Chain A
């Protein structure tokens, strides 16, 4: 036998079988080490026509397929972007489960450019911010707007978007839709029965009593399976009584923030509604079931946001005429006037800092914020956007009209909270506790005690990154 190295067929097969095994062992559950930031470091040159420096690399877009669908992306936003950058290939993707699909991409270091991070399975912005995954969108704010080169993008959108989308001092999350919270009802039902929109809490309770006695329908309901629909009016009510500081203190995890008098009054009021005026079985029904009950004229009022009309469009009778009213005056000496609203930008879009082409991602957002894109979006999904005046001159729907009027009436008296977006554990605890409050399992005092305890627990947990506003 010659002594030259001899590779038998069997040896070859054996070696081949081991290679993928070794590779798989190396790339398993634990995160891979970070690949060097290559692509994003070298943007294309900027110019007046291309203020953010879009190159030729493809642009990957992920849309959450929820209440708004994803037609708005393929029919409105992407054609608009394409009209300016025909060389950039857009990879459009849709999912209902953002986290499951995209979390591994972040861990692996190749996230997509644009993500509509929304829905029940959205990724935690706090975690993304903590790890530097969010692209700083300040260049976008300072870029000229799509419609008018003399106006910056910053001046075309609702200022609360910038405030709410700021993490660690950097504007990094763009809420596209302006959610207006309130108590929703059918104008037809109210007109037919001669019921009036209540301006004070006493009038509201009197109205509930009237509706209950009329035997026509139940006065009030909320999505019992999702008690966040009940803590929203509770917190807004507390802010109405004692001012915006109530919510700011809660957001900042201040000591005793949950146990102030205004919170107690609000909790007592909500518990009273829960004890007396709820539709039967409310606690076990979800948002679709309760909202459909309202469409079937089984219940008069429910707390919700301005997405309601679009969400219910397939079950709403033609003459239903959705409308909303704000939280009524509670004490007669409320810190904030009648008409105070909880408005909050939602449907959050982000650009991944470590994606291959973040410049195109920002440019995509700039296109979305054009008046035409935002107006078409409003018309397609019957909801308001954060772009100022985008739905002006468009006749959209009774619900959108009602919400628009409410926003105009509120003026600068708008409030919001961010604590539940920052601390997921607190959100789940508040859902659990609010459900118990509404069904009588917890007294208002015990409820606030419990929330304060959880807030303190989070404050003292060094592993949870803290945010302030």
Chain B
């Protein structure tokens, strides 16, 4: 009996060993080491970093650029989910139940469904390079070309420090919406058709149907979307690093935490300090995860 249990445990362990070891070696151990490196003055090339306690953390309190980056992440954390979810919900509603009968999508919805998903297929770097060209401030830019042909001065979408952040946000939304249209469509498909038919018989128009029936029944899916988009907003490194001028500029107007970590590590060779920034980002991310899990506890609607 005990032997059997032992064999069984062994059997399970043998399957778990490889993934757990990989996880320990490549995820947990670098994370733990980052906490140690954050308390050294390591510059990346020496083999003997000196332990300096919490000096790096004191230093980052006065680092204006880093706090600017934090404020951008915070703004994205609010704006990116809100805008993306609103647009995605609107499209998903139109594609699935927005038609005249109220139980099917508007005309051509199968075609739109494919089109909306296109941006999701592209790699982030490709999206960034693509939009660099779209937003170019001369006659070759896809947006500025027509403007200049009309005699209007070109708009510095990425070169105006007051505008660049909004361009980044626009690109992020453009890329994210497609996926959430599909997610919400799947959510809608699992809602029984009778609900919509019943609402229609009771005389609900498109607007009240959306707010009274669709949204409450989709609430779980919306919460999932919120958490995913929140995690995305904590990162956004690739778009910022590839697309914006001076990698987070102009004048630090688009930089984010991950970009500052990278810049301090691989630009200034301050690996200790960069690790300290990483620890702070880690705390923010964990905080966000706990908060969103707490807030999203809500009674599930059974049907």
Q: A: which residues have CB within 8 A of B?
A: 17, 21, 24-25, 28-34, 99-100, 103, 106-107, 109, 121, 123-124, 126-128, 130-133, 224-227, 280-281, 283-285, 289, 293, 424-425, 428, 431-433, 435-436, 439, 441, 457, 461, 463
Contacts and interface: CB of A to CB of B under 8 A. Distances in A.
Interface stretch (B41-49, B204-212, B287-295): B41-49
B159 A25 contact: no
A110 to B, nearest CB: 11
B158 A432 contact: no
A30 B59 CA distance: 22
B184 interface: no
Given A29-B30, A99-B266, A131 B45 contact: yes
Contact of A28 (B29, B136, B245): B29
Contacts of A461: 59
B46 A131 contact: yes
A433 B251 contact: yes
Main secondary structure of the interface of B (DSSP, over half): loop
A428 B263 contact: yes
B17 interface: yes
A224 B159 contact: yes
A127 B42 CA distance: 10
B159 A439 contact: yes
A124 B30 CA distance: 24
Nearest to B17: A17
Given A283-B156, A285-B138, A31 B29 contact: no
A127 B246 contact: no
Contacts of A283: 137, 156, 159-160, 250
B116 interface: no
B153 interface: yes
A183 B135 CA distance: 29
Contact of B249 (A29, A432, A457): A432
Contact of B29 (A25, A107, A130, A224): A25
Contacts of A428: 246, 263, 267
A463 B273 contact: yes
B37 interface: yes
B191 interface: no
A444 to B, nearest CB: 16
Interface residues of B, number: 53
A109 B46 CA distance: 8
Contact of B154 (A103, A281, A432, A439): A281
Interface in B248-303: 249-252, 263, 266-270, 272-273
Top 6 A-B pairs, shortest CB-CB distance:
A284-B159, A284-B137, A281-B137, A131-B46, A127-B269, A283-B159
Contacts of B33: 28-30
Interface string B44-58: 111111001001100
B92 to A, nearest CB: 35
A21 B25 contact: yes
A293 B140 CA distance: 12
26 contacts: A17-B17, A17-B18, A21-B24, A25-B24, A31-B48, A32-B47, A33-B47, A33-B48, A34-B48, A103-B44, A127-B269, A128-B45, A131-B43, A225-B246, A281-B144, A283-B137, A283-B159, A284-B157, A285-B138, A424-B269, A432-B249, A435-B161, A435-B246, A435-B251, A439-B159, A463-B59
Nearest to A227: B246
B251 A432 contact: yes
Interface centre among B37, B59, B159 (most CB of A within 10 A): B159
Contacts of A293: 138
A31 B263 contact: no
Interface string B87-131: 000000000000000000000000000000000000000000000
Contacts of A285: 136-138
Contacts of A432: 246, 249-252
B47 A28 contact: no
Contact of A127 (B36, B44, B136, B144): B44
Interface in B125-174: 135-138, 144, 148, 153-154, 156-161
A106 B137 CA distance: 41
A106 B144 CA distance: 46
B21 interface: yes
B29 A284 contact: no
Nearest to A109: B47
Contacts of A433: 251
Nearest to A283: B159
A226 B246 contact: yes
Contacts of A28: 25, 29-30, 33
Nearest to A289: B138
B121 to A, nearest CB: 27
A133 B45 contact: yes
B69 interface: no
Nearest to A465: B43
A123 B45 contact: yes
Interface in B6-54: 17-18, 21, 24-25, 29-30, 33-34, 36-37, 41-49, 52
Contact of B251 (A107, A226, A436): A436
Contacts of A24: 25
B147 to A, nearest CB: 11
A19 to B, nearest CB: 11
A30 B249 contact: no
B66 to A, nearest CB: 11
B142 to A, nearest CB: 13
A25 B32 CA distance: 11
A127 B148 CA distance: 47
Contact of B138 (A124, A132, A280): A280
B246 A107 contact: no
Given A25-B29, A107-B44, A432-B251, A425 B49 contact: no
Nearest to B275: A29
A103 B25 CA distance: 21
Contacts of B43: 124, 127, 130-131
